[in-house]
Amino acid sequence: MSNPSTFKAEPNSGSGANWDDHAALHRSNDGGGLLSDLKALRHGTLAELVRFVASLPENEQPLYTIEKAGDHRLGIGEILALSRRADFPRA
């Protein structure tokens, strides 16, 4: 079973975030739901999508969420907190 590797940007089980987990970028207002994957704007690893959102202009960042394995949606607060973590892969 796949569990979200983070909760409020803190690692679960002390193992750190799984930066290579599959993730999908969504508009924050797309509603999610059963057909959520069809609404994805792009797919990539958790690290790639966190890096992408964090690189957007500050006024655009809240427009996006990241959905990762286990149906966990990360809002802008969690995304930016992840981007500031010491173990975040910068490139």
What is the pLDDT averaged over residues 70-82?
Answer: 91
Do residues 18 and 87 lie in contact, with contact meaning Cβ atoms separated by under 8 Å? Answer: no
User: What is residue 34's predicted lDDT score, i.e. its pLDDT?
Assistant: 60
Name every residue whose Cβ is closer than 8 Å to that of residue 80 and which is 6 or more positions away in sequence.
Answer: 54, 61
CB-count burial class (<10 Å; 0-12, 13-18, 19+) for 80: middle
- pLDDT tens per residue, range 81-90: 999 999 999 7
Tell me which residue has tokens 């655009």: 60
11-58 per-position pLDDT tens digit: 444 557 899 999 999 999 877 666 666 678 999 999 999 999 999 999
pTM here is 0.77
pLDDT at site 4:
47
29 burial type by CB count under 10 A (0-12 exposed, 13-18 middle, 19+ buried): exposed
